[in-house]
Every structure is written in C-alpha cells, then in structure tokens.
Amino acid sequence: MEYKNILFEVEANIATITFNRPRVLNAINLETVLELNKAIRECGEDENIKAVILTGAGDRAFVAGADVAYFKDKSPQEIMKFAEAGQNTLRLMETMEKPAIAAVNGFALGGGTEISMACDIRFASDRARFGQPEILLGLIPGWGGTQRLARLIGIGRAKELVMSGEQITAQRAYEIGLVNRVFPAEQLMEEAKKFAQKLAGMPSFAIKMAKCAINYGYDLSLENAMHLEIQCNAQCFSTQDVKEGVAAFLDKRKPNFTGK
C-alpha cells in the first residue's frame, strides 16, 4: 500500500510509523486512520518486525487530535463510522503480538493522547503536551479517552482532564502515570529506538504472552486473571527460547533468543 499521510519504515527489525501531516500538526482524518490500520496489520504479519515505534513528523506535534475540518456537516452516522474506525485500529495495535512504543515528540491532544495510550510504552519529549480537549468542542473523546485514560491514571484524574479539556506537560504526565519516561527532545527517538531494539531481542512468544496476560487479565477478577497468567506462562514452555533461556542462565552466559 502506498501511504500518503504516514511514513512507514523498517530497519533492524524495528518498524517506525510516522504521522506525516505537519502542516496541520499531524491531525488525523479518516484516510490517516485507514493507513494506520494497514500499517499495523503489516507490522503484525511481518515476522521480521519485532517492535513498533509511533511518532510524529516535525518537532511540534505527535498528533494534535482529529482534523476538526473533517467534522463539518458530518451526520451522527458518519461520525460513528469515524469513531469505530479509530477504535478498531487502536484496539488492533493494542492487541497485536508486537510491542508498540509511542515516541511523543510534541502535542498529543485528543486522538493523539488516545493513540499513545493504545501503545504498550509511552516515551515523551520534555516539550510534549497531553490532553483530551474534545469538551471544548462540545464533544467527548471517542477513541478510548474515557476508558483507557481512567485505567491508566485513575477515574478522578481522567475526569479532571476530560471534563476540563486542559493540557498537561510531559512531566505532569509522567507524575500521574500517563507516560513511562521523559527525555530531552533531541534524545527522544534515540532512546525509543534503543528500547525498541531491547524488546526486539527478547523472546517474541513470551512478549506475546505478557501482552495477553496483562491486557486480558486487567478486567478479570483476580482469581480468573491468575488462572490466565498460569496458562500464558505454561505456553511459553512450548518454545525453544525457554530452553535457551534456562540453559544460558545455568551456563552463566547471555541467551541467544531466536523467536522460536
């Protein structure tokens, strides 16, 4: 597929998806959502890709939200399709086998915050800003902002951000658990790539099982979630990587995981 609104690159087992609409601060329209969906599917299907980084073109924005011009004269049914396309795409990324890292290099507002939350890890530039400003348009978030946000930072703080539409700094996002780490702007991509490469070197089936246990266990009762963890843990013993990991530990050497 030829991409018009994103850049898609693969280097050393790492795929980088860059939102590439800098003139509108990488705002998202339906075409961009469909391209992102395709790119995520490509990442999931390509066995050579072990980790994915998402970032924004330019130095001002990751994704500054939905392209508001798209909303003009749209019917509720059309908006519903847009919301469903976004939610389906983010859920696809959230549940794919490969780990996804958001390298948030600037404004991550509305859909930008929602895209970052669907990633497994969030790294932010010290210039980044986060927020769910939909309320300022008379709307509420439609791509998981009322759900993932509460699960990440708690109901009270989620209500504060969603109901006020206020933006927060990268440092504040770190303090409340919305991002994992904050870096100087010039170091962000270097650090994201370094961490992606680290994950790419891990046993891929174990990464898959870790995502499964965490994602699907979160909403279960503790007892059922612990049973899920047992099943995911046991499945890892079907791989060569477990044998290699155990042997390397006993031999006091670095393991050579092959993803098998």
- Identify whether residues 19 and 59 lie together within a single domain: yes
- Identify whether residues 196 and 218 lie together within a single domain: no
> Residues 109, 110, 111, 114: is their CA dihedral positive or negative?
positive
Q: Is the pLDDT score of 136 beyond 80? A: yes
- Identify whether residues 56 and 130 lie together within a single domain: yes
- Identify whether residues 196 and 225 lie together within a single domain: no
For all residues of the chain together, what is the average pLDDT? 95
- Identify whether residues 190 and 231 lie together within a single domain: no
- Identify whether residues 106 and 228 lie together within a single domain: no
Instruction: Supply the CATH number for residue 247's domain.
Output: 1.10.12.10
Please say whether the beta carbons of 7 and 36 come within 8 A. no
- From the list 10, 8, 204, 20, the residue with the least C-alpha distance to 99 is 204
Q: Give CA 177 to chain center in angstroms.
A: 15
CA atoms of 201 and 199, how far apart (whole Å): 5
Would you say residue 51 lies in a domain?
yes
CA atoms of 205 and 184, how far apart (whole Å): 33
The residue written with tokens 């933006």 in the block is 167
pLDDT in the model for residue 77? 92
Residue 51 vs residues 13, 105, 147: alpha-carbon distances, Å = 7, 19, 25
- The residue range of the domain holding 175 is 6-200
Q: Give CA 252 to chain center in angstroms.
A: 35
Q: Is the pLDDT score of 220 beyond 80? A: yes
- Identify whether residues 227 and 164 lie together within a single domain: no
- Identify whether residues 180 and 221 lie together within a single domain: no
pLDDT in the model for residue 69? 82
Number of domains composing the chain: 2
What pLDDT, in 10s, does the model give residues 49-91?
999 999 999 999 999 998 888 788 889 999 899 999 999 999 9
- Identify whether residues 108 and 228 lie together within a single domain: no
pLDDT (average), residues 119-142: 97
- Identify whether residues 124 and 220 lie together within a single domain: no
CA atoms of 50 and 85, how far apart (whole Å): 25
- From the list 205, 214, 209, 211, the residue with the least C-alpha distance to 257 is 205
pLDDT (average), residues 222-236: 96
- Identify whether residues 247 and 170 lie together within a single domain: no
pLDDT in the model for residue 73? 85
- From the list 113, 103, 107, the residue with the least C-alpha distance to 150 is 113
Q: Write out the two tokens for 125.
A: 């530039």
Count the neighbouring beta carbons within 10 Å of the beta carbon of residue 209: 21
- Identify whether residues 23 and 79 lie together within a single domain: yes
- From the list 51, 50, 56, 42, the residue with the least C-alpha distance to 6 is 56
Which are the catalytic amino acids? 114, 134
Would you say residue 109 lies in a domain?
yes
Would you say residue 257 lies in a domain?
no
Name residues whose C-beta falls within 8 Å of residue 34's C-beta, 6 or more positions apart in sequence.
Answer: 85
What pLDDT, in 10s, does the model give residues 26-47?
999 999 999 999 999 999 999 9
pLDDT in the model for residue 22? 94
pLDDT in the model for residue 1? 63
pLDDT in the model for residue 71? 81
Longest dimension (CA), the chain: 67
What pLDDT, in 10s, does the model give residues 146-180?
999 999 999 999 999 999 999 999 999 999 999 99
Would you say residue 259 lies in a domain?
no
